[in-house]
Amino acid sequence: MTTRAVSPVYLPPPYQDSAEYGRLILRDGSTATIRVAAPGDRAALREFFAGLSAQSRARRFFSLSVPDQKLIDSFCDNSNPRSQLTLVVTRSRGGSPRIIAAGSYVARDERTAEVAMAVDDAFQGKGLGTLLLERLSILAAQNGIERFWAVTNTDNRQMIDIFRHSGFRVREKVERGTVEVDFAVAPTEASVSGTEIRDRVFTAASLRPFFKPRSVCVVGVSRNASGIGHRIFKALAGRFRGAVYAVNPNARTIDSTQAYASVRELPEPVDLAVLAVPRDEVLQIVDDCAERGVRALVVITAGFAEINEEGRRLQRELVEKVRGYGMRMVGPNCLGLINADPRVQLNASFSPVFPLPGRIAMSSQSGALGLAILSLARKRQLGLSTFVSVGNKADVSGNDLLQYWEEDESTGVILLYLESFGNPRRFARIARRVSRSKPVVCVKAGRTLSGKRAAGSHTAALAGNDIAVEALFRQTGVIRAETLDEMFDLSAFLANQPLPSGPRVAIVTNAGGPGILCADACEAGGLVIPELSEATRGRLRDFLPLTASVSNPVDMIASAGPEHYRQAVATLLASAEVDALVAMYVDVGMADSALVAQAIAEGVKAGRATSRALKPVAVCWMAEPLPEPLVGGQETIPTYAFPESAGRVLAKAAAYREWRAKPLGVVPDFADIQLDAAREICRGALNRRGPGWLATEETRKLLAAGGLPITAGGVATTAEQACELARAVGFPVAVKLASHQVVHKTEFGGVRLNLRNAAAVSRAFAEIRRRVAEQASLDAMEGVLVQPMVSGGVEVMVGVTQDPLFGPLVGFGLGGIHVEILADICFRVTPLTDRDAREMIEGIRGYRLLQGYRGHPPADLSAIEEVLLRISRMVEEIPAITELDLNPIFALAPGKGCRIVDARVRVGTPST
């Protein structure tokens, strides 16, 4: 390959919104709003600069005076971001936003810009300078600026440290009391890593007041015991370790507890406020909360974006107000949240069920389902660390919670119930990192498609929203649960057992049929049920009945008693031949079930004492009543009612362990990709014809700009030109209709193959021209594409379609007619890492053909991988490419590369 592997610097930035606009989270966990300065900001900018201390003003402008109006006017004119751009950060005071920080870059020449920032003295030390520099560098790079330059006084340690710790490769020059810095704005491994660390740490800090508040108030506590506000207050007051306050403007006491008329009248600032009031009162109460220093809000109230356009407008206003005040918000339209930690015992929800404490954290997008989930978790004896009903996810999202739980020492397993993704690309970046240390289990509702959209490419026809979800989960290590029941099955295992170190499973049972069902489920999930060695079988024969089967599954027969289970479990768990164990018990009325359960737990304890490896154990208990999870010493062993459940859980846990054991992939760089030329080809086609398929010559130039292996040849507009091209590339040749209007050329009759002389080429040109005239219009014919025939190799395809939410989706599979008949195609969401590309190739059913099969030579897998990675890079950088099909690509023998024989590219916007 010609790639140069670097760190994954092309991953999307970690912002909830865009680099130009959105929410900032500061070091102290408070928030602010960032946006591009506008002409209406002149007065606010002047006030901001005037409000800086003399020292801060001197450091920004090398002058004690407020900058003149002309300079301020220039900051507010961002009509040409290639020349200059200013970002402002705002925070509300008294309901009105004010500027608390500003950063600018101004072009010095075609490639370099001067960068400078200023931060309100009261907000210095909260990370604002670094956050401004991150976004300014992204915007500068997007607008063609390659380097930043800055100058500051040597005593301005804060600004110097911002540059030094930015992760960019900074060059410094000290001269006469000033420091000049110069650096490339292209992301580096260190800058991306620093951005991710800040995003994670700052986000976790912003959510801490939700889960570990010192005090809480409930707004909307009525005297009616069935009211939601009353129920939340009683749930809090009965458990929470801190102070709880009731707010009701019409009552002085609630159940003998003092109530306050307004949040403003509370005797102390509170960290968390829970709002259970009519919708039209919410905005005013947010003002009250901000005035009293509330840091976090849970808005139970419904009637916002989930109902109509007016609700969506009110929700936007609510979010802007909350962020403007520097607060965070869960909801609206939510059940609330819970922290089951015995040191906190926070039930800021109207759930009547308080979960057992444990290490499982969960987020639910459905409040009603959340109530059922909490009840089910309690029934199955699953302990939770925290639970959050996110509701409309207007501010705090599942992505934010992932980052909090990543930092939370009380959480070991993360469960998500999702109905939709707010920002799947941000989810991918975060989940990929979190899954390396903590398992993330997700139930994604809405799997089915209401129908397939009409598509001009095979890739788009085969891709659907759930395909994108599945690809995203595979890339990020998220364990997908098909049902809520399976999610709890998985969480019970992951929270209490080690991950299997390999695929080998031993099964011990007192009934053959259930053992076979469990073995089938294991093998269907990619696990192995190995034959046991003669030594292990001999140890089993020493204590099992003569009629017992000591192969795997080990069938101890119906008469097996507690001692048989104890010894069999200990023996198999100690064996080096297996990586996991399933112990199964079927009540056939021949043993005391309670004693069998105790024996299994004791066997696990004994096996652990002699085994060199820590192996997971699952129990299938087909008896009444179902036992609580078995406990052996300090260990909890999950139990399942059906053999298939235990098998599926082990299979998914083993697949997750395998994913986690592999090294992280990188997004390679390709120095020879001509992105500017490729963008210009797409831009030119859009300007000339609007959205649609590129002309054949445009497609070839675009692929050539990407360094992709297109087959030699070219487009001829006459029969004479076609013959000249055929002689130049060498016979035999293929002649194909060149048209951006006729997409499926083979079905149209626009392809002629194996033409061995000029006469055949001339006839083919005439026949194709006549076909176009009869069935379409000669305006649809750009000419013919003349290519040499490619022989040997395996036909594969690479395609791209744009998902409206997930962005570019890359597909790979066998090419030619196979893609339509077999639909053997593997998808991934961009940007692809080298690991993603490799797994796509290995993930199709036809992979054996690429490895070489029955005398057929193997294919150049490295060359295919490079095509996938180059395509990923191009569609990431050029959103105008909305659909693409390279089919077929002939993958030649190892070292011979591959050749793109046919290609189609559609340009437009992601929604066209």
Q: Please give the helix or strand (H or E) that residue 361 lies within, else none.
A: strand 356-364
Contact present, 460 and 428 (Cβ < 8 Å): no
Please list, in sequence order, all residues whose beta carbon lies within 8 angstroms of the beta carbon of residue 689, skipping any fewer than 6 positions away. Answer: 740
Task: Give the mean pLDDT of 88-114.
Answer: 94
Q: Residue 787: helix, strand or coil by DSSP?
A: strand
Distance CA 203, CA 399 (A): 10
Determine the Cα angle at 84 with ends 81 and 88, to 5°.
Answer: 90
Task: Give the mean pLDDT of 614-633.
Answer: 86
Q: Does residue 682 surpass a pLDDT of 50?
A: yes
Q: Does residue 603 surpass a pLDDT of 50?
A: yes
Task: Give the mean pLDDT of 791-817.
Answer: 89
Tokens of 609: 């004492």
Can you spell out the DSSP letters for 635-692?
EEE-EESSHHHHHHHHHHHHHHHHHHHSPPP---B-TT--HHHHHHHHHHHHHHH-SE
HSE-up of residue 41 (Cα within 13 Å, Cβ side):
27
The alpha carbon torsion through 846, 852, 853, 854 (nearest 10 deg) reads 160
Please list, in sequence order, all residues whose beta carbon lies within 8 angstroms of the beta carbon of residue 149, skipping any fewer than 6 positions away. Answer: 108, 112, 113, 114, 115, 180, 181, 182
Q: Does residue 460 surpass a pLDDT of 90?
A: no
Q: Does residue 819 surpass a pLDDT of 80?
A: no
Burial 683-721 (b: 16+ CB within 10 A, else e): eebbeeeeebbbbbbbbbbbbebbbbbbbebbbbeebeb
Please list, in sequence order, all residues whose beta carbon lies within 8 angstroms of the beta carbon of residue 109, skipping any fewer than 6 positions away. Answer: none
User: What percent of the chain has pLDDT above 90?
Assistant: 77
Q: Does residue 726 surpass a pLDDT of 60?
A: yes
Task: Give the mean pLDDT of 531-548.
Answer: 96
Task: Give the mean pLDDT of 473-481.
Answer: 96
Tokens of 618: 């699952």
Rounded mean pLDDT of the chain? Answer: 91
Distance CA 863, CA 292 (A): 62
Distance CA 150, CA 158 (A): 14
State how beta strands 243-247 and 257-260 pair.
parallel
Predicted pLDDT of residue 14: 52
Distance CA 906, CA 912 (A): 10
Confidence band, pLDDT 50/70/90 cuts, at residue 456: very low
Task: Give the mean pLDDT of 154-182.
Answer: 92
Distance CA 524, CA 646 (A): 12
Please indicate whether residue 479 or residue 623 has the higher confidence score (pLDDT). 479
Contact present, 293 and 268 (Cβ < 8 Å): no
Q: Please give the helix or strand (H or E) that residue 328 lies within, else none.
A: strand 328-330
Cis before 627 (ω within 30) = no
- Write out pLDDT tens, residues 866-905: 999 999 999 998 999 999 999 999 999 999 999 999 999 9
Q: How far apart are the first and last CA of the chain?
A: 34
| Phi, psi of 356, rounded to the nearest 5 degrees | -70, 150
Cis before 332 (ω within 30) = yes
Residue showing tokens 């102390």: 268
Q: Does residue 82 surpass a pLDDT of 90?
A: yes
Tokens of 151: 């100058």
Distance CA 603, CA 582 (A): 12
Can you spell out the DSSP letters for 445-508?
---S-S-PPP-SSHHHHH--HHHHHHHHHHHHTPEEPSSHHHHHHHHHHHTTSPPPSSSBEEEE
Tokens of 187: 């992301």
Helix 758-775 with 719-729: angle, nearest 10 deg: 130
List the single range of 38-47, 61-70, 816-825 with lowest mean pLDDT: 816-825
Confidence band, pLDDT 50/70/90 cuts, at residue 447: low
Q: What are 829's strand-pairing partners? A: 809
Task: Tell me the helix, strand and coil percentages in the chain, rounded to 5.
Answer: 40, 25, 35
Please indicate whether residue 831 or residue 466 has the higher confidence score (pLDDT). 831
Contact present, 695 and 35 (Cβ < 8 Å): no
Task: Give the mean pLDDT of 602-610.
Answer: 93
Q: Positive or negative, the Cα torsion across 411, 399, 476, 199?
A: negative
Q: How many CB atoms lie within 10 A of CB 263?
A: 24
pTM: 0.90
What is residue 279's DSSP assignment? G
Q: How many CB atoms lie within 10 A of CB 578?
A: 25
Predicted pLDDT of residue 7: 38
Q: Does residue 455 surpass a pLDDT of 70?
A: no
Q: Does residue 458 surpass a pLDDT of 50?
A: no
Task: Give the mean pLDDT of 529-550.
Answer: 96
Burial 517-539 (b: 16+ CB within 10 A, else e): bbbebbeebebbbeebeeebbeb
Can you spell out the DSSP letters for 507-553?
EEES-HHHHHHHHHHHHHTT-B-PPPPHHHHHHHHTTS-TT-B-SSS
List the single range of 242-251, 606-615, 737-746 with lowest mean pLDDT: 737-746
Distance CA 678, CA 681 (A): 5
Confidence band, pLDDT 50/70/90 cuts, at residue 910: low
Q: Residue 163: helix, strand or coil by DSSP?
A: helix
HSE-up of residue 715 (Cα within 13 Å, Cβ side):
16
Question: Taking Cα atoms as reference points, which of 90, 113, 81, 82 lies closest to residue 23?
Answer: 90
Residue 561's identity, in one-letter code, is G
Beta strands in 739-846 (DSSP E): 751-755, 783-788, 794-803, 807-814, 825-829
Predicted pLDDT of residue 228: 95
User: How far from 276 is each of 220, 296, 329, 486, CA to CA, in Å?
Assistant: 5, 14, 13, 33
List the single range of 60-64, 267-271, 393-397 with lowest mean pLDDT: 60-64
User: What percent of the chain has pLDDT above 70?
Assistant: 95
Please indicate whether residue 774 or residue 119 has the higher confidence score (pLDDT). 119
Predicted pLDDT of residue 516: 96
Tokens of 641: 């009612």
Predicted pLDDT of residue 629: 81
| Phi, psi of 817, rounded to the nearest 5 degrees | -75, -15
Task: Give the mean pLDDT of 262-289.
Answer: 97
Confidence band, pLDDT 50/70/90 cuts, at residue 11: very low
Predicted pLDDT of residue 911: 58
Predicted pLDDT of residue 255: 85
| Phi, psi of 596, rounded to the nearest 5 degrees | -65, -45
Please list, in sequence order, all residues whose beta carbon lies within 8 angstroms of the beta carbon of residue 733, skipping any fewer than 6 positions away. Answer: 713, 725, 726, 755, 761, 786, 787, 788, 789
Q: Positive or negative, the Cα torsion across 652, 653, 658, 664?
A: positive
